[in-house]
Chains A and B, each alone.
Chain A
């Protein structure tokens, strides 16, 4: 079945200079292999285009925790203190990635979180 990423994972962002970290955290270990397959650096680029993230997007896999950590360079408008953005830390940046969709086996349906409309 095809579901929104936010039914199988949550996300957080953090800042360092002009770089944003975005983590995608599986709600259940059973979801992680499917998240790892679908949520690639290329998939993130479809969410954060070159105008939003001007540098490279690199994925790091933390398999033991069921977490993907993405490092997005050039994501914060020149850095927190210089940025003209209203959310200058990019604290809300991570929520955009949850728009992605992925396939998960029907057998995992009982473990899904969030609104069934997604």
Chain B
């Protein structure tokens, strides 16, 4: 069963070179504070470091050494498009007045998309009328 479930806002920015892991951690702290100041209302939010913990999430092993580069990716599921658009807007702020040498992808691809949630469900057999039609 498909249900309209609001909007996902998503964007990312990049660090490379010495200190990139520390920069990513600091940027996450700043970004969370910015989103708080912007009054973001999200049902769910995650910030990943692509190359470190984006795939295995909380199950990721701590990096043995600093990677050469990191993409900081943020995604949030919100009830309205207006809320989801705050993700891209605050990431823009990180690139122009955040940490030194914050890389950014511009122009923007689609940063907000509507969510159609898929839910497993059972329907009473009596509610389904089967017909077969040959064309």
Contact = CB atoms under 8 A, between A and B. Distances in A.
A10 B23 CA distance: 14
A87 B104 contact: yes
Interface in B1-25: 14-20, 22
B102 interface: yes
B57 to A, nearest CB: 22
Contact of B101 (A95, A99, A115): A95
A84 B69 CA distance: 18
A88 interface: yes
A17 B103 CA distance: 17
Contact of B16 (A4, A10, A11, A95): A95
Contacts of B19: 6, 95, 98, 114-115
B106 A88 contact: yes
Given A99-B18, A118-B18, A91 B105 contact: no
Contact of A95 (B15, B71, B95, B106): B15
Nearest to B107: A81
A91 B18 contact: no
Given A10-B100, A95-B100, A87 B105 contact: yes
Interface string B87-113: 000000001000011111110000000
B16 A92 contact: yes
A51 interface: no
A99 B103 CA distance: 17
A43 to B, nearest CB: 15
Contacts of B100: 10-12, 94-95
Interface string A16-49: 0000000000000000000000000000000000
Nearest to A5: B18
A18 to B, nearest CB: 16
25 contacts: A6-B19, A12-B100, A12-B101, A13-B101, A80-B106, A86-B14, A87-B104, A88-B105, A90-B103, A91-B103, A92-B15, A92-B16, A92-B101, A94-B101, A95-B17, A95-B18, A95-B19, A95-B20, A95-B100, A95-B101, A96-B16, A96-B17, A99-B18, A115-B22, A118-B18
Interface of A: 4, 6, 10-13, 80, 86-96, 98-99, 114-115, 118
